[in-house]
Chains A and B, each alone.
Chain A
Amino acid sequence: MAYDNLLSRRNVLFGSACFCCLPSLLRAEAAGDAPGPAATVEVGPAIHVRRGLHEDVTATNRDAIANLSFIVGRDAVAVIDPGGSLYDGISLRLAIRAVTALPIRYVILSHVHPDHIFGAAAFKKDEPTFVGHIDLPGQLAARGDFYRQGLERILGKGDAESAVVPTLLIRDRTELDVGDRGLILTAHKPAHTVCDLSVMDKQSGILLAGDLLFVERIPVLDGDLKGWLAETAKLRAMNIASAVPGHGPPLVGWSDAEAAQSRYLRVLLDETRIAIAKNIPIEDAAASVGQSERNNWQLFDAYHGRNVIEAYRRLEWE
Chain B
Amino acid sequence: MKRLLIAAALIVFANTPQAMASDDAAEAAERWRDVAAAIFGERPIEDGSGILKLTTPETTMNAALVPITVELIGNRKVVAVSVVIDNNPSPLAGTFRLGPAFAPDALKMRVRINEFTLVHAVAETDDGKLHAVARYVKAAGGCSAPSATASADVMARIGKMQLRRERSADASLVPTQLLISHPNFSGMQQNPTTGDYTPARYLERLSVNVGGIKAFDLDTGISMSEDPAISFTYIAKGNGDVDVQAQDSSAAEFSQHFNALQ
Decide whether A and B assemble into one complex. yes
With beta carbons under 8 angstroms apart, the residue of B27, B162, B193 that contacts A138 is: B193
B226 to chain A, nearest CB (A): 8
Q: Across the interface, do B227 and A3 meet the contact criterion of CB distance under 8 Å?
A: no
Contacts A314-B149, A317-B181: A306 and B62 contacting too (C-beta < 8 A)? yes
Q: Which residue of A lies closest to B30 (CB)?
A: A1
Q: Which residue of B lies closest to A165 (CB)?
A: B195
Query: Size class of A's contact patch?
Result: 35 or more
Interface-side segment among A40-48, A259-267, A279-287: A279-287
Q: Which residue of A lies closest to B160 (CB)?
A: A317
Bound CA–CA A18/B195 (angstroms): 35
A97 interfacial by beta-carbon distance below 8 Å = no
Q: Which residue of B lies closest to A306 (CB)?
A: B61
A167 to chain B, nearest CB (A): 16
B21 interfacial by beta-carbon distance below 8 Å = yes
A302 interfacial by beta-carbon distance below 8 Å = yes
Bound CA–CA A304/B78 (angstroms): 38
Q: Across the interface, do A1 and B27 meet the contact criterion of CB distance under 8 Å?
A: yes
- Could you count the A-B residue pairs with CB atoms below 8 Å apart for me: how many are there? 147
Q: Which residues of B contact A141 (CB under 8 A)?
A: 190-195
- Besides A222-B6, A279-B175, A309-B62, 9 new A-B residue pairs in contact (Cβ under 8 A), listed by A number: A3-B24, A4-B116, A138-B192, A138-B193, A141-B195, A142-B146, A142-B192, A282-B229, A309-B61
A182 interfacial by beta-carbon distance below 8 Å = no
Q: Across the interface, do B149 and A56 meet the contact criterion of CB distance under 8 Å?
A: no
A15 interfacial by beta-carbon distance below 8 Å = yes
B76 interfacial by beta-carbon distance below 8 Å = no
Q: Across the interface, do B138 and A12 meet the contact criterion of CB distance under 8 Å?
A: yes
Bound CA–CA A145/B20 (angstroms): 31
B169 interfacial by beta-carbon distance below 8 Å = no
Bound CA–CA A114/B87 (angstroms): 27
Q: Across the interface, do A143 and B162 meet the contact criterion of CB distance under 8 Å?
A: no
Query: Size class of B's contact patch?
Result: 35 or more
Bound CA–CA A285/B238 (angstroms): 34
Interface-side segment among A25-33, A67-75, A125-133, A146-154: A146-154
20 contacts between A and B (CB under 8 A): A1-B28, A3-B87, A12-B11, A12-B138, A15-B10, A113-B1, A113-B2, A113-B5, A139-B192, A142-B191, A145-B190, A150-B141, A222-B6, A223-B148, A279-B175, A281-B67, A282-B67, A283-B67, A310-B62, A317-B227
Q: Which residue of A lies closest to B108 (CB)?
A: A281
A163 to chain B, nearest CB (A): 11
A235 interfacial by beta-carbon distance below 8 Å = no
A236 interfacial by beta-carbon distance below 8 Å = no
Q: Across the interface, do B67 and A4 meet the contact criterion of CB distance under 8 Å?
A: no
Interface centre among A1, A57, A286 (most CB of B within 10 A): A1
Contacts A141-B190, A282-B110, A309-B65: A303 and B2 contacting too (C-beta < 8 A)? yes
Contacts A15-B12, A286-B60: A56 and B2 contacting too (C-beta < 8 A)? yes
Q: Which residue of A lies closest to B117 (CB)?
A: A3
Contacts A3-B24, A138-B193: A194 and B3 contacting too (C-beta < 8 A)? no
B144 interfacial by beta-carbon distance below 8 Å = yes
Residues 278-318 of chain A, each 1 if its beta carbon lies under 8 Å from chain B, else 0: 01011100100000000000000111011001100110110
